[in-house]
Structure 1
Amino acid sequence: MFATPHTSAVKAYARVGIETDIVTADPHKLIVMLYEGARLSIATAKLHMQRNEIGAKGEAISKAISIIDQGLKASLDVNAGGKIAEKLYALYEYMCRRLLLANLKNQPEMLDEVAGLLGELNEAWNSIGKGLGSNTTTTENKLRRV
């Protein structure tokens, strides 16, 4: 029905908080936020899939695909990133295809697969963030493990 004034205020506060995080975040933090947003959308899609809520499932999967395609993939600089960026680009393409198939075939295991891949990348990205003050070689070695 209608949102109560309290509910509207909470949603507005949350939206402002997220927008502030985005504006003030460094590029590393923005990538972390994209990984987390994609994983949250996939978890939401899985919940809707289990409840047989087709429209909501499709919206959540579309959101995850958009985050991966227009956020993560678009942020790659293949020229500067070389083979690592090329491999990430291909992996992001694969994830988008798997999410599309998961939606079409209603297969939660495909959602789990992509969520797991995003989790591994997120973990690697977080460990890189801890070493950003160290030399570039260390950071490149951590990325190669991905």
Structure 2
Amino acid sequence: MLHDQDPFNAYKQTSLNARAAAANQHEMVRMLLDGLMDELARSQGHIDAKQYEKKGNSIQRCINIVHGLDSMLDLENGGEVAQNLHQLYDYCSRQLMSTSMKNDSQMLDPVVKVISDVREGWQNLN
């Protein structure tokens, strides 16, 4: 709820909601990838700081974003690219769960690499 947040976070969330509402599918994927990269960095920080409750919430947000990206794939018409992305997103989800169980921030490195590569490829499409 917005009243539970400080005013800056409330503004930030409102701004993000407005951008998402106006975004086309390409912009939405870009926003999700950017948000995922930000959340991965937060997850890493929470693990390193031994803030395990915050880590759990952050990792769950990462998994939710990855599932959101995966759900946007057109597996019937997207060909090999969609299938490859589906496999990468599945790998990222499994790696995120393992990272959360082991509380090892270095286990996030391959996820960061995969998502960085996907993000770079996505940006080159536009």
Q: Which has the higher contact order (CA 8 A, sep 6+)?
A: 2
* Correspondence for 2:42: 44
The yes-or-no answer on 1:77 pairing with 2:74 is yes
TM-score under structure 2 length normalisation: 0.92
Specify the code of the residue in structure 2 equivalent to 1:107: D
Counting matched residue pairs gives 123
What are the equivalent positions in structure 2 for 1:86-101 lying under 5 Å apart? 86-101=83-98
TM-score under structure 1 length normalisation: 0.80
Q: Deviations over 1:55-88 (max 9, x none)?
A: 100110110001001x100000101101111111
Larger Rg: 1
* Correspondence for 1:57: 55
Q: Once the 2 structures are TM-superposed, how far is the Cα of residue 118 of structure 1 from its aligned partner?
A: 0.4
What is the aligned-residue identity percentage?
Answer: 28
Give the Cα–Cα distance (whole angstroms) in 1 for the partners of residues 79 and 60 of structure 2: 29
Q: Once the 2 structures are TM-superposed, how far is the Cα of residue 9 of structure 1 from its aligned partner?
A: 2.8
* Correspondence for 1:68: 66
Structure 2 segments unaligned to the other structure (5+ residues): none
Q: Once the 2 structures are TM-superposed, how far is the Cα of residue 89 of structure 1 from its aligned partner?
A: 0.5
Q: CA RMSD in A?
A: 1.4
Q: Once the 2 structures are TM-superposed, how far is the Cα of residue 109 of structure 1 from its aligned partner?
A: 1.7
Give the Cα–Cα distance (whole angstroms) in 2 for the partners of residues 13 and 34 of structure 1: 19
Give the Cα–Cα distance (whole angstroms) in 1 for the partners of residues 96 and 14 of structure 2: 29
Structure 1 segments unaligned to the other structure (5+ residues): 130-146
* Correspondence for 1:103: 100
